[in-house]
Structure 1
């Protein structure tokens, strides 16, 4: 109780230090609150509120967040006054899928909506799905997960607007005349907003939150120029992602055209769910996925293509890191830890940090630029590429590494690099081979030997290979830079709202961006390795030269 009174005294008056007040909520106070495992409270708190008996509702971190939002340093407005229409999550409905893609619209779950390259093989029937228009979204909307893991966000772009989305997403339509949408997104991503949003979640096995529960969330209204700068940073990050997807589309198109392959592979099963085969072809595997006729058709088309088929093990070293005890620490004491679930996402959610001192043989899990990454446990076959931005990060043992050989294999005229391998494995011709070799009863797994047997279709013309690789490297650099910009922009807004930094002008904010984002070294390292990244799309800054110039880096 003494600690609580001291914290409130700091809140009410502050303590003078070098002519400035202390931060209203220190980093240490926030961290202590986040790790608190028990608390006591008066029974009157329960009866004066919503009669909540779940301890998380009264957690100290949520109390800290409310204290910040009740501060008088800035004005606030309820979220419901900053949107064009009442927030909603769609309606619960029976999913009736179409057997023919032409008669359906692709459907995404909440998790798939947050992915860097969302794709779907499920098509909701246009004729049999009632009120289908209510499940469609438009560019510029903000989406928030409201079931399972609560509060994760994305902004609808042109690609995402083509899908029907689950009802497990709250649709937020910002009113740009009242608040910049990028700034609103940045605020909703802060731990402050997340604490308040999750405070009202309910559910025993699966957490839920309803749109009306976040309507009164207090949104800080800052100086227009400052909100505009945060708005620009978030939109810049999403512009980078759009450019990255465009480059990967170009890389895949160049591969298909050069290889003489179609984008889609015919499914011999069509509407059938079973098939037969000779016992002599079992190869000691009794799982149906290993003998899937789609795989047989994939291999048939590859053998007819204008490429050279080479096993992955002949192009590089395939490694699955050992299992280990994970000791997590605060950011300043550890290194970023990439998990399998992070690989397909726009950015790592809930990024954790491994202890540098307490993790034995840490180098076993460090990843380096020029490595292809493949998820090999749980959801199999998600593809990534290490860039200079993720250089030196640690990666889970659930992420398999492919490290290309520097020397060319005997059957090729040139060595194949990691970016080309990543491009091929992202196509159905690579993915179908990978998932066919999956094993495991409860959790799917795949090992080094299995990946080593996957056939890579190598283009004969080295100049085409190099062009594909360049596009892919640039795309993954854009993806990681977008994640870095978004993460550090949100962190800066948290510092500003907490009171740990203050701005007297927009120029000071730009200076803080330079100090906080630490982008200069990252931009320079990416720029040296990936040349030619200099494009402008939809009026946003998307070149490294422009961002260095704009923020004086």
Structure 2
């Protein structure tokens, strides 16, 4: 329930409306708050060279990376991993240049879940994005990073998602974004926020570089034919079926046979199961949501660049909360819906709660380092292997026993140390990038919180 006091002049300026649903709606409250700014108010459109969305032309998708360009949907723009997305054909997709992204743009989802924002880094640049992504090309009348932090704040999000009269919007257009009010904060404040956002982008790019280097180092030691995507047929013996969980689906059995057949000769493999302290799924009980409490992540939230930005909170009184909380160096693997995405928990997500749709892999660090296993799961071979383990027809699922049965390549100790170091640097840089972005957004929110209506 919301309670507030409304001044008489507010009634007069809104046609003497006295219904609480209007005056207490987020959109109206935020606009009233912004109007009380001690600084000059301008429009978002005045701070941009242009605000637009991409071309709506028909897209042709391909599988081979050399024939395509990564294509981002409105939900992909928020992901930590921007490489494992659909590929639009270079040859058959028209108007490619109109869909191409540039570094330093502000990206906003305009349909579906509207109002989500992303800062375009070097990883976004030159990739394509759908017409469901609005692009803001800043002109630096206001600092670009500040404009992004403002639109990403709770105030900016309310402006993007709710109309002038408090109604929730289902779809937004560039003209609407251009019309939104934005205070002209002091130059020093803008500079501070802008620097944080740009440092966050730099750290994110650095994190991606560390991850790519670790995965590349691992893949040098594997047979690239092992994860070659192609149609194939094969025969599988009854003995093999009995050995592999009595599964009769060809998706699993043929894939397992092909992985063994194509392995690099001389490379030693060991099962993950004996190296794990525990492989399990967290608590499935009822969740008690609250404004304050422990951040709670879904299996899709955990794959975002800044996983805590859009997460809900659950009460500290939620039954079996400890079973939901994850800890540093655990590996989370999405086990339903989109199967096989993995996250290595660092300081940022330590003791945060995660849904039962994430399978949790807790390794014995005396036997194997989590960073090393995480690197393997992010190789092409590791990703293909995880996806081959999924079962189910409508909603596919990944089981604990199948993860325990994964054969892990055991590389030379010197190479292992190199991979582990890169992954540890990746986790640190990722956490630091998310923290700096969150700090920039919180600075904007705290400043606006202090304005008296």
> What is the TM-score when the length of structure 2 is the normalising length?
0.88
- Give per-residue Cα distances to partners, 1:81-133, cap 9 Å, x unaligned: 11112x11112221223465444322222222221121246332333222221
Cross-structure match for 1:267: 229
Distance 1:487 1:375, change over 3 A: same
**Structure with larger RCO (C-alpha < 8 A, sep 6+):** 2
Aligned residue number for residue 490 of structure 1: 441
* Mapped pair 1:477 → 2:437: no
Quick one: which of 332, 340, 345 aligns to 1:373?
Answer: 332
2:81 alignment partner in structure 1: 117
Alignment partner for residue 219 of structure 1, among 182, 185, 191? 182
> Which residue is equivalent to 2:287?
326
Tell me, yes or no, if the aligned pair for 1:375 and 1:399 is still in contact at 8 Å. Answer: yes
The answer to whether the Cα contact below 8 Å between 1:112 and 1:119 also exists between their aligned partners in 2 is: no
1:403 to 362, 370, 385: 362
Distance (whole Å) between structure 1 residues aligned to residue 17 and residue 338 of structure 2? 47
Distance in 2 of aligned mates of 1:264 and 1:76: 59
Q: Secondary structure at the match of 2:289?
A: coil
Structure 2 counterpart SS, 1:84? strand
Q: Contact 1:344 / 1:382 at 8 angstroms: preserved in 2?
A: yes
Are the equivalent residues in 2 in contact too, given 1:83–1:172 (CA < 8 A)?
yes
Q: Tell me the distance in 1 between the aligned counterparts of 2:385 and 2:400.
A: 14
**In the TM superposition, what is the alpha-carbon distance from 1:346 to its structure 2 partner?**
0.6
Contact 2:71 2:86 in 1 (8 A): yes
Q: Does 1:422 align with 2:374?
A: yes
Q: In the TM superposition, what is the alpha-carbon distance from 1:136 to its structure 2 partner?
A: 0.6
Contact 2:23–2:29 (Cα < 8 Å) also in 1? no
* Equivalent of 1:462 in 413, 421, 426: 413
Structure 1: gaps of 5 or more residues? 13-40, 47-54, 408-414, 502-553
For the 8 Å contact 1:312–1:455, the answer to whether it is kept is yes
Name the residue aligned to 1:151: 115
What stretches of structure 2 of length at least 5 have no aligned partner?
Answer: none
- TM-score w.r.t. the length of structure 1 is 0.73
Partners of 1:354 and 1:463 lie apart in 2 by 43
Match of 1:544 in 2: none
> In the alignment, what sits opposite 1:436?
388
Q: In the alignment, is the contact (CA less than 8 A) between 1:423 and 1:472 conserved in 2?
A: yes
Does 2:41 match 1:76? yes
- Give the alignment's Cα RMSD to 1 decimal: 3.1
Q: Does 1:244 align with 2:207?
A: yes
Question: In structure 2, do the counterparts of structure 1 residues 134 and 448 end up closer, same or farther at CA, with 3 Å as the change threshold?
Answer: same
Q: 8 Å contact 1:57–1:200 — kept in the other structure?
A: no
Task: State the alpha-carbon separation in 2 of the partners of residues 350 and 155 from structure 1.
Answer: 15
1:311 corresponds in structure 2 to 271
- The CA distance in 2 between the partners of 1:492 and 1:207, in whole Å, is 29
State the shift of 1:195 in Å. Answer: 0.9
Q: Is the 8 A contact 2:227 2:384 kept in 1?
A: no
1:465 Cα deviation from its structure 2 partner: 1.2
Contact residue 437 and residue 450 of structure 1 kept, 8 A: yes
Name the SS for the 2:269 alignment partner: strand
8 Å contact kept, 2:109–2:117:
yes
- Per the TM alignment, residue 152 of structure 1 is displaced from its structure 2 partner at its CA by 1.1
State which drifts further: 367-376 or 259-268.
Answer: 259-268
1:234 Cα deviation (Å)? 1.1
The alignment status of 1:353 with 2:310, answered yes or no, reads no
Residue number in structure 2 paired with 1:183 = 146
User: Any conservation in 2 of the 1:200–1:209 contact (CA below 8 Å)?
Assistant: no
Measured after TM superposition, the shift of residue 432 of structure 1 is 1.5
| Aligned counterparts of 2:234 and 2:223: Cα–Cα separation in 1 | 27
Instruction: Give SS of 2:45's match.
Output: helix
- 8 Å CA contact retained: 2:271, 2:408: yes
Is 1:134 equivalent to 2:98 in the alignment? yes
The 3 A distance-change label for structure 1 pair 11 and 247 is farther
Choose which of 233, 236, 247 in structure 2 pairs with 1:285. 247
8 Å Cα contact 1:251/1:423 also seen in 2:
yes
In 2, distance between residues paired with 1:344 and 1:161?
Answer: 20
Give per-residue Cα distances to partners, 1:407-458, cap 9 Å, x unaligned.
4xxxxxxx21111111101112112221112122332211211111111112
Task: Work out the CA distance in 2 between the residues paired with 1:11 and 1:306.
Answer: 78
Q: Secondary structure at the match of 2:104?
A: coil
Is the counterpart of residue 235 in structure 1 residue 198 in structure 2? yes
- Aligned positions, number: 441
